[in-house]
Structure 1
Amino acid sequence: MEIRVERLTEDNFNSHSLDNFIRHQVVTECLRNVDGNWILLPISFVEEWSLDKCREEASAIANNLYGDMIDYGAFEETDLIGYITVGTERLGTKGQYVQLVSFQVSEPFRGMGVGRRLFEKAAGAAKGRGAKKLYISAHSSKESQAAYKALGCVHAEEIIPWIADEEPFDVQMEYVL
């Protein structure tokens, strides 16, 4: 199985590119900040994207391919099996961050290095924009947190309020470039 990672363009991405994408995650534990300490709590739910949700996400990406975001996709032949989006706006009190806006790997391809390859592309793009760090509003599930930590992400030194407010249960993280 050969997987290639490349910049998303209108030639390789459209509003149906996520039709076969499997965004499924069974969550049993999530990190929560309790009295200033991060602890795992038994919180169970299933995240699963419908075809409509996949097309909504794909349309949002397709509409912004040449806008203020940088998008990369991982492909197995013509199937998109993962994607990552990095903003270009500088954030933080010192302009040290750019935001990792979205990062997904289709369930059958997790644990195969696809996410790491996408993340490395995103980090390179952010560094190329002069950022010192990626800012990540990361899912709080035990599995997502383990994946981000394996990539070298840590809790953010500075919280960007408007991002944190959008997903109050996310863990605000950063990655030093």
Structure 2
Amino acid sequence: MIIRQLDIADLPRLREIDRSERIRRIYRFRDGVMEYDEVDFEASRWSEEQIREFIADLTPELESGGVFLGALDGDGPGGETLAGVAVLGNHPLGERSDLLQLVFLHVSRPYRRRGVASALMDVVCRLARERGARGLYISATESDSAVGFYTGRGARPIEQVDPELFAREPDDIHLLLEL
């Protein structure tokens, strides 16, 4: 498995990611406290419409200096398989403009729990530090796997949510990971 920087032309490869998963808990904030509800459902693969939306949303992020990373496995049929992806934003956030956003992080179902997300996060954190950030702003999907991954790495609920990001993703769990 190698982590390598990808470019805008690689965005259509998001179709290779199988984001499906069994979700057993959904996290929410109630009265300022993060709580969870027990659920049981299968989240499906992304639709073609969702892929087009991701490409439309991520393109300007990358054009303005964001970084698109891919975790590539050379064992796939016909060459490299895209096992996971991450996008680090380039727009300073936070009261002191010292945070960068983890815009996107997904690992394909067959590659989960194999260190792919951690490897991508290690590179994202290094790049963010190199850009002078003191932390990552993470707007995490409210699933137990996403929230558990980030909190397991030391992320905690952010005290001051970014109003624009919160308006765009009000159900997400907004976290800060100090670098």
| Interval containing the TM-score (normalised by the shorter chain) | 0.7 to 0.9
SS in 2 for 1:116: helix
Equivalent of residue 7 in structure 1, options 5, 25, 32: 5
Q: Does 1:70 align with 2:72?
A: no
User: Which residue of the partner structure matches residue 77 of structure 2?
Assistant: none
Cα gap change, 1:23 to 1:36, in 2 (>3 Å): same
- The 1-side partners of 2:54 and 2:171 are apart by 24
Cα gap change, 1:123 to 1:141, in 2 (>3 Å): same
Q: Which runs of 5+ in 2 are unaligned?
A: 75-79
Q: In structure 2, what residue type is equivalent to 1:29?
A: R
How far apart are 1:119 and its partner, in Å?
0.5
Between structures 1 and 2, the one with greater helix share:
2
User: Which residue of the partner structure matches residue 27 of structure 1?
Assistant: 23
Query: What is the Cα-based RMSD across aligned positions, in Å?
Result: 2.1
Q: In structure 2, what residue type is equivalent to 1:104?
A: H
Q: In structure 1, what residue type is equivalent to 2:153?
A: L
Question: Would you say how many aligned residue pairs link Structure 1 and Structure 2?
Answer: 173
- The 2-side partners of 1:155 and 1:138 are apart by 10
Q: Which runs of 4+ in 1 moved over 6 A?
A: none
Tell me which moved more, 133-142 or 54-63. Answer: 54-63
User: Which residue of the partner structure matches residue 104 of structure 2?
Assistant: 102
